[in-house]
Structure 1
Amino acid sequence: MTDATAPAVSVRPIAPEDRAAWERLYRGYRAFYAAADDPDAIETVWSWLHDDAHEVRGLLAEHAGEPVGIAHFRSYARPLTASRGLFLDDLFTASEARGSGAGTALLDRLAEIARDEGATVVRWITDEGNGTARRLYDRLAQQTRWVTYDLPPAADPAAG
């Protein structure tokens, strides 16, 4: 049962005036996955979010008027099904806002965007040890049978 007096979570596209809030949340996301603090990465991703020619888009979740979560996503081609999907690259809710409904609201908004854009699926990966997130994902989505691999780029023969 939900608390009717609890403030709702709203989700909207990330805007230029959200820089400080987005950066705080993005740094939190990077720290959660033990990624080094990298100002260049922060600048790069921020620039992608505001470049209409770039594929990455972002959403901001607010609870009681406070930014509490972010999602970065992009459209991708699905040749096997001759369709398009949305790929959720990053989803993060500030620790103090977990349980507020922000993660659910972000995923619900992504499902609406997928519907509106004619995408056939919203897909993402997560760390198998991220039990908190996986409980949410297991409630809202179906785990697939696909196994993920990472192949590094080939060595540059000119590098010697």
Structure 2
Amino acid sequence: MIEIRKVQQDDREQWAQLFRQYRSFYALQSDETVVDRVWGWITDPSHESAALAATVDDTTMVGIAHHRRFARPSTGTVGLYLDDLFVDPHHRGEGIGRKLLGELAIMAGANGLSVVRWITAEGNTRARELYESAAHRTHWLTYDLAPDARSPE
């Protein structure tokens, strides 16, 4: 039985293990400072970031979804942004990612939000199969601009 729920204070170790695997999957350098910082964010009710956990047997965490609200000025609405979705490789194909996405859709609907949006790497083919079957792929491209150290004028 798969249960989707909010991450709780006593989930720290299991969440951290999954988050480290997520970061490793995307070839991000191991950094416990990041793990600690993100844990602080998702367990702080006043922070914009939050997290869902997917558990089996009521105890074993097998998936995580980090999310936050975001303003959509072009439509005058607010959406739900999925920052990170990760399922333990030993539990892929069991519908856990789909259940996490479904819970995010329910949350968005219950709160009058206009969309659940996310990005993924082009080469993340396994996840893209799920995403293509669960959501509409947009025509938007993503760009990253490096910060400029100069002071604003």
The residue aligned with 2:103 is 109
Unaligned runs of 5+ in 2: none
Structure 2 Cα separation of the partners of residues 106 and 122 of structure 1: 12
Number of positions where the alignment pairs a residue of Structure 1 with one of Structure 2: 150
Structure 1 Cα separation of the partners of residues 31 and 56 of structure 2: 28
Percent identical pairs in the alignment equals 46
Matched, 1:121 2:115: yes
Structure 2 Cα separation of the partners of residues 155 and 80 of structure 1: 29
* Superposition deviation, residue 155 in structure 1: 2.6
Task: Compute the TM-score of the two structures, normalised by the length of structure 2.
Answer: 0.95
Deviating above 3 A after TM superposition, structure 1's stretches of 4 or more consecutive aligned residues are: none
* Superposition deviation, residue 71 in structure 1: 0.3
CA RMSD of aligned residues (A): 0.9
The residue aligned with 2:42 is 49
* Superposition deviation, residue 63 in structure 1: 2.4
1:43-99: CA deviation from partner (whole Å, max 9, x where unpaired): 000000111111000000012332100000000111111100000000000100001
The residue aligned with 2:28 is 35
Unaligned runs of 5+ in 1: 1-7
Task: Compute the TM-score of the two structures, normalised by the length of structure 1.
Answer: 0.91
SS of residue matched to 2:70: strand
Structure 1 or 2, whichever has the larger Rg, is: 1
The residue aligned with 1:76 is 70
Amino acid at match of 2:136: Q
